[in-house]
Chain A
Amino acid sequence: MLGMWTFLITEVLFFGGMFAAYAVYRNMYPDAFASTSKFMDVVLGGTNTAVLICSSLTMVLAVRAAQLSKRAHLILFLILTMIFGTIFLVIKGFEYHSKWVEHLVPGFDFQYDEPRYQHNAQILFFLYFAMTGMHALHMVIGLGLLTFLLVQAKRRIFNENYFAPVEMIGLYWHFVDIVWIFLFPLLYLIGHRR
């Protein structure tokens, strides 16, 4: 358990590097950053936020079920969590696709319709892809871990005396969700401050 907490601290620092870069550049180019908001799909982003919050709830319920040795509930909630996680990734995939169509991927023929922000907005879009991409990578790893838990649960490994892996992977899952809670306002809502 302490190992997982320590690992999550390293993750905070890992994402922290990108958040620091975000803070610096947003401070340098506030207008260019705000101008990107009209390309961000707040509805999809908001839906994804809701989806992730739901997945956190089902994850907690899964941990609770493991602690109480309720195997059927554990399996149910693990599957629900995985479904929510998959929905998130699918929606994210649609968002990435529309960015690709609109030439908003830095390094791949990036074009921005406001010439005065062309350069600086590219930095925001790079941070967008780097941060959400890294987050999505963590989601994929999380889904892998949940699959592992599911297999273990089916094999009746967990009971009220042994549920540490469920708790640990639960912690990880919540961490990944919390990262998104920070990403959503920072990336989607910059230009919506009125």
Chain B
Amino acid sequence: MATIAHGTPEIAAEEVNYLNVEHGWKSWLFTTDHKRIAFLYLISITAMFFVGGTMAVLFRINLLEPEGIFSSETYNRLFSMHGIVMVFFFLVPSIPATLANFLIPIMIGAKDLAFPRINLLSWYLYVFGAIFTIYAVARGGVDTGWTFYAPYSSTYSNSYVLSAVMGVFVAGFSSILTGLNFIVTVHKMRAPGMTWSRLPLFVWSNYATGLLQVLGTPVLAISLTLIAFERVAHVGIFDPNIGGDPILFQHLFWFYSHPAVYIMILPGMGVISEIVACFSRKRVFGYNFVAFSSMAIAVLSFFVWGHHMFVTGEAMYTSVAFSFLSFMVAVPSAIKVFNWTATMYKGSVSFDTPMLYAFGFIGLFTIGGLTGLFLAALATDVATHGTYFIVAHFHYVMVGGMVMAFLGGLHYWWPKITGRLYPEAWAKFAALIIFIGFNLTFFPQFILGYLGMPRRIHAYPPEFQALNVLSTAGASILGIGYLIPMIYFAWSIRKGPKAPANPWGATGLEWEIQSPPTTYNFDETPIVTKEAYDYGPLEEVVG
């Protein structure tokens, strides 16, 4: 471990921090401390992750046999609930509501977010949304897929659409409030000297995410409201029988849900920028390009929703425009990948657990991103639309990208969040297991999709069985891989060795304060005089 540049007071057992300053459940449930709220979020989204994961395990078991094991109805409900829970209750809040909630105020030198009480409100909204959704699961689930396409969701489905829609609607407001809080905080709460060009890239990417949450989520809210009206009163807004247009729902839905996939990946990109800089001991190559590529992704992502609808009878020229714009949005993502690799070039790269996840992210995200280009191309998309190729593509981005980044970030900042170190050997082992399990699960799905196996069907022709069995085997390995970090993290909260203030020798304001931080983060407002990744000449740090 590199020597620590800044003076590190030894952590004494009785030192006051945000975790031990108050005790009892009231001090948690009525807290306005962004760090405690982040912790509450961490617990809730982990719970939801395992709910969604259980669904995934169940339907992967179903796909062991070509004719399926469960009924088609059960299977439809399983994959729908998996999608709803994972997208709206894990991926969207994953990094923003936990790591960013914890870190943004600290990284910019503030005592808290701009609206601490709204921050707490957003957690309660999330919990209420989750309760509605769990209720829908308990009553037998939803079979519309996570996209709630009309008119199936609004008229024909006889599952518990309404409570699931309510759940997503409420959770959407939690996401809006988080985004709003971040935007205002980054604008108004930066410490003296923390200029925009000194902001850590993690803050930039979460700022861009905040914009997406604020601009996109209300459209989801209104689309779901219209679905609810249609379902309750049969008003006919999406009902073709009276001239309603179900395609309109798809337009409204994807106007949110395409930006939403960037809500689900941009924060991960921010985490990777931090990790790569720290474990290469170099400043990020092309800071401005990485920062502005986040903003470019945020802007472009609002103009590509039509690529989800190439097969809906969309006008040809519309499709051509959406196809072109979808290729465009790949450019800023590629800039990031190139800049991360350029950062590592001639850096002093070490292979601690967070960096392993970062390597996983870069590789898997590249595969996920490049297959996205296949799908942005009109002809290829028509051939692969609705097959497992799509499933594999977005799981490479969402799971191979975002979940890897989430775990990497969690390992990277765990000493800061809890003041404890996790067992490094176990963590490396788990990272390896997750990487293997992930690829074994989803790579066969690329092949299956390319061969034409449709998604969302509980049965398949027998010749696909071998690849499906491989995928299910991978899913079980992946599941175990996720359980290991959960166990050693829980263990380390009480039993882990105490962490110093800056275990990685990283730069950034969050590493200059004690681990875990005090309630107000800083004793006095810091004055920032350096840029974000001031790692200095390489020899000094290594030698």
Q: Are A126 and B229 in contact (CB under 8 A)?
A: yes
Stretch of A20-28, A54-62, A142-150 lying at the B interface? A20-28
B543 at the interface (CB under 8 A from A): no
A7 smallest CB distance to B (angstroms):
6
Stretch of A66-74, A115-123, A153-161, A168-176 lying at the B interface? A115-123
Contact with A along B140-182 (1 / 0, CB 8 A): 0000000000000000000000000000000000001000110
A121 smallest CB distance to B (angstroms):
9
Closest to A3 in B: B184
Q: Which residues from 230 to 246 on chain B have a C-beta closer than 8 Å to any C-beta of chain A?
A: 232-237, 241-245
CA distance A126 to B248 in the complex (A): 15
Given the interface contacts A2-B187, A10-B176, does A106 sit within 8 Å of B235 by beta carbon? Answer: yes
Q: Which residues from 22 to 80 on chain A have a C-beta closer than 8 Å to any C-beta of chain B?
A: 24-25, 28-29, 32
Closest to B183 in A: A6
Q: Which of B118, B229, B237, B251 has the most CB of A within 10 A?
A: B237
Q: Are B219 and A16 in contact (CB under 8 A)?
A: yes
Q: Which of B234, B235, B236, B252 has the most CB of A within 10 A?
A: B235
Note all chain B residues with C-beta closer than 8 A to A14. Answer: 218-219, 221-222
Q: Are B241 and A119 in contact (CB under 8 A)?
A: yes
Q: Are B242 and A120 in contact (CB under 8 A)?
A: yes
Q: Are B244 and A107 in contact (CB under 8 A)?
A: no
Number of A-B contacts (CB under 8 A): 94
Note all chain A residues with C-beta closer than 8 A to B217. Answer: 10
CA distance A9 to B183 in the complex (A): 12
Contact with B along A161-188 (1 / 0, CB 8 A): 0000000000000000000000000000
A130 at the interface (CB under 8 A from B): yes
Q: Are A106 and B223 in contact (CB under 8 A)?
A: no
B271 at the interface (CB under 8 A from A): no
CA distance A119 to B187 in the complex (A): 49
CA distance A85 to B183 in the complex (A): 32
User: Number of B residues whose C-beta is below 8 Å from A?
Assistant: 36
Closest to A107 in B: B233
B304 at the interface (CB under 8 A from A): no
A11 at the interface (CB under 8 A from B): yes
CA distance A108 to B229 in the complex (A): 12
Q: Are B218 and A17 in contact (CB under 8 A)?
A: yes
Note all chain B residues with C-beta closer than 8 A to A141. Answer: none
CA distance A168 to B281 in the complex (A): 46
Q: Are B229 and A25 in contact (CB under 8 A)?
A: no
Note all chain A residues with C-beta closer than 8 A to B226. Answer: 17-18, 21, 130
The chain B residues found within 8 Å of chain A, CB to CB, are 114-115, 118, 176, 180-181, 183-184, 187-188, 214-219, 221-223, 225-226, 229, 232-237, 241-245, 248, 251-252
Contacts A/B (CB < 8 Å), 6 sampled: A10-B217, A10-B218, A107-B236, A123-B242, A123-B244, A126-B236
The chain A residues found within 8 Å of chain B, CB to CB, are 2-3, 6-7, 9-11, 13-18, 20-21, 24-25, 28-29, 32, 106-108, 119-120, 122-123, 126-127, 130
